[in-house]
Amino acid sequence: MRDELRADLLEVGRLLVSMAEAVRTAMIHATGALLTADRAACEMVIARDAEVNELRRQVDEQVYATLARQAPVATDLRLVITGIQIAADLERMGDLAEHVAKTALRRHPAPAVPPELRDVIASMGAVADRMAGKVGLVLTTQNAPLGAELETDDDAMDELERQLFSILLHRDWPHGAEAAIDGALLGRFYERYADHAVNAGRQVVYLVTGETSEPPGAG
Amino acid sequence: MRDELRADLLEVGRLLVSMAEAVRTAMIHATGALLTADRAACEMVIARDAEVNELRRQVDEQVYATLARQAPVATDLRLVITGIQIAADLERMGDLAEHVAKTALRRHPAPAVPPELRDVIASMGAVADRMAGKVGLVLTTQNAPLGAELETDDDAMDELERQLFSILLHRDWPHGAEAAIDGALLGRFYERYADHAVNAGRQVVYLVTGETSEPPGAG
């Protein structure tokens, strides 16, 4: 790969690191706000999603500028375009953090998460945090094996979602339909966040190594 | 635009039409299977999602082949890459139809949709059908105003989702937490299907007209 192209790709990578950090921070704060029914924190997460969207716009522009300047072909071309796809996954992760914050806000000042669900939601938040962190780390360290770990993390998230549903569906669930619906939707937001992290991670590995065991975008 | 590039873009468009038809059919069948608790129909929807994924792969390949053959620049380059983004939205619509079918299958032979929700779910299925149909029509007829209608259809879908939730959250909801959770998740699958149709439609308008009032991918 030519040095100019490599330099442009590094710039795309830097923007993607900022996005990964932003959507990680968003989910940390959204989970905290959810568990403490913290209105100001919810509103901050919602307001700051615009920054993630703006970063995505910058990634897209940087990708198109790179294509225009470097006119890469074959594998290099695919590599550059991958930046657009990673940014799309990261933006969606930001949206999902925003959904968590909005769920908390809708119930405020009541807590959206009853005591029975606190542990499992906190665990889902922790797994989400770890996954977004790894996406960023693969970008900054070119550490591809870290990207592969995301699949295992995603299995852990799926298992937590099953736990969540088994609590919601227990015959003695005392909180009625509304809290059950909130719990199920929250579970889905975390699970989708993890899916997008896996997808982003797979493509990030491709971006930093040029190698893929599976086609980017699969799964 | 050069004739060769136009011909290649038409081929991308043809594949996208096939995808739009496939994900439309998937949601029609998924909704029917859901409302009639039809096990075989559920299984068919789930099995056929692989065809949608294969079509997406073909779109991606055709886009990369076009880029390699035609080396488009500037606006033409953006136009070609749009094909990848439309295919991603359509593939996700197929996944959501599959989720509807899986929800029906999980409750089979019991119906996943209690009588109180049948009308609103049927209406959501009808709006989803109309929207996927319009995405395909914009591709085949270059009818951009039809693409703009998708925003209005999406408002109708959001209103139906609100109706659905008001039924689920009514104090007299007699079906317990499990049916409420299913109803809420189903509502979300239709609502997300509509969101992806709006996104796909916006980019399809750009693909067929080269014009956009909003940046593709926004919203």
Residue B217 lies in a domain: no
Residue B219 lies in a domain: no
Q: Which domain does A68 fall in, by range?
A: 3-209
DSSP 8-state secondary structure symbol assigned to residue A173: -
The secondary structure of A13-52 as a DSSP string is HHHHHHHHHHHHHHHHHHHHHHHHT-HHHHHHHHHHHHHH
Cα–Cα distances in angstroms (integers) from residue A96 to residues A30, A197, B186, in the given order: 10, 12, 18
Tell me the mean pLDDT in the region A97-115: 95
**pLDDT band, very low/low/confident/very high, at A213 (cuts 50, 70, 90):** low
Residue A217 lies in a domain: no
Distance CA B148, CA B151 (A): 6
Contact flag A74-B68 (C-beta cutoff 8 Å): yes
Contact flag A85-B81 (C-beta cutoff 8 Å): no
Which range has highest mean pLDDT (A5-14, A103-112, A169-178, B125-134)? B125-134
Residue B214 lies in a domain: no
Distance CA B219, CA B199 (A): 7
Q: What's the mean pLDDT when you consider all of chain A?
A: 93
Chain B: residues touching A (Cβ < 8 Å): 56-57, 60, 64, 67-68, 71, 73-74, 77-78, 81, 84-85, 88, 165, 168-169, 173, 176-178, 180-181, 184-185, 188, 215, 217
Q: How many CB atoms lie within 10 A of CB A158?
A: 14
Q: Contacts of residue A181 in chain B, CB cutoff 8 Å?
A: 165, 168-169, 180-181, 184
Q: How many CB atoms lie within 10 A of CB B42?
A: 26
Q: How many CB atoms lie within 10 A of CB A74?
A: 10
Tell me the mean pLDDT in the region B21-49: 97
Q: Contacts of residue B60 in chain A, CB cutoff 8 Å?
A: 215, 217
Sequence-separated (6 or more) residues with CB below 8 Å from residue A47: none
Phi, psi of B99 (to 5 degrees): -60, -40
Contact flag A181-B173 (C-beta cutoff 8 Å): no
Tell me the mean pLDDT in the region A176-184: 94
| Least confident span in A172-176, B135-139, B150-154, B190-194 | A172-176
Residue A216 lies in a domain: no
Residue A13 lies in a domain: yes
Report yes or no: A128 and A87 within 8 Å, Cβ to Cβ. no
Alpha-carbon gap: B46 to the closest alpha carbon of chain A (Å): 15
Amino acid type, A142: Q
Residue A194 lies in a domain: yes
Report the complex ipTM. Answer: 0.90
Overall number of domains in chain B = 1
Mutation pick from B57, B63, B102, B178 vs chain A, by most beta carbons of A within 10 Å, is B178
* Predicted pLDDT at A214: 54
Q: Contacts of residue A57 in chain B, CB cutoff 8 Å?
A: 215
Return the CATH number at A159.
1.20.58.220
**pLDDT band, very low/low/confident/very high, at B219 (cuts 50, 70, 90):** very low
Residue A48 lies in a domain: yes
Distance CA B124, CA B130 (A): 10
CB pairs under 8 A between A and B: 66
What does chain B come to in residues?
Answer: 219
Of B60, B67, B180, the CB nearest to A181: B180
Tell me the mean pLDDT in the region B114-121: 97
Q: 3-state class of B154 per DSSP?
A: helix
Tell me the mean pLDDT in the region B1-28: 94
Report yes or no: B42 and B102 within 8 Å, Cβ to Cβ. yes
